[in-house]
Amino acid sequence: MQKFPKYNDPMSRFSIAVFRTNGALLRNGDRLTKSIGQSSARWNLLGQIEFNPTTVAHVARNMGQARQSVQRVADQLVSEGLAVYDDKPDDKRTKLLRLTAQGEVVMNQIGGKQASWTQMITPRLGPERLLQAARLLEELAEILEQDYKED
């Protein structure tokens, strides 16, 4: 296992841990979805539109990525029939990305794989600790997003 630096200040140590965890989540997501022809990036995008069609720009903001990167993945998903672009009712120039029936099948397949993976990991940390960590990350995200808006 690779050694990561342990900084003395809490925010630096926390940031390194988040970056490391993000990388591990992406690698595990790629591993989970590879057998069904997907990737973490595609899974993330499909998951963002699974219950609520939205714009590519909105997804990019949520994911903290460049709109062009998300647009490229969205266009691939559309060309493969997993998603479609619909007109946005209040703005005909903007398109909403929506999951198709084929996309729902893929998300159900991913969901089955994710459930097995989750059942393996959750007991090791405990559901309450995971929820505490999620709340902390959500709170930090709100703080960081607010700081970003003020620049």
Question: Looking at residue 116, which CATH number applies to its domain?
Answer: 1.10.10.10
Query: What digits encode the pLDDT tens for the residues 80-111?
Result: 999 999 988 888 788 999 999 999 999 999 99
Dihedral of the CA atoms 97, 101, 106, 108 (nearest 10)?
A: 110
CB-CB neighbours of 59 under 10 Å: 21
Number of domains in the chain: 1
Q: Which structural domain range is residue 91 located in?
A: 10-150
Residue 16 in contact with residue 7, Cβ under 8 Å? yes
Is 25 within a domain?
yes
Is 4 within a domain?
no
Is 70 within a domain?
yes
pTM: 0.83
> What would the two tokens of residue 81 be?
């029939």
Residue 126 in contact with residue 85, Cβ under 8 Å? no
Is 3 within a domain?
no
Query: What digits encode the pLDDT tens for the residues 50-80?
Result: 999 999 999 999 888 999 999 999 999 999 9
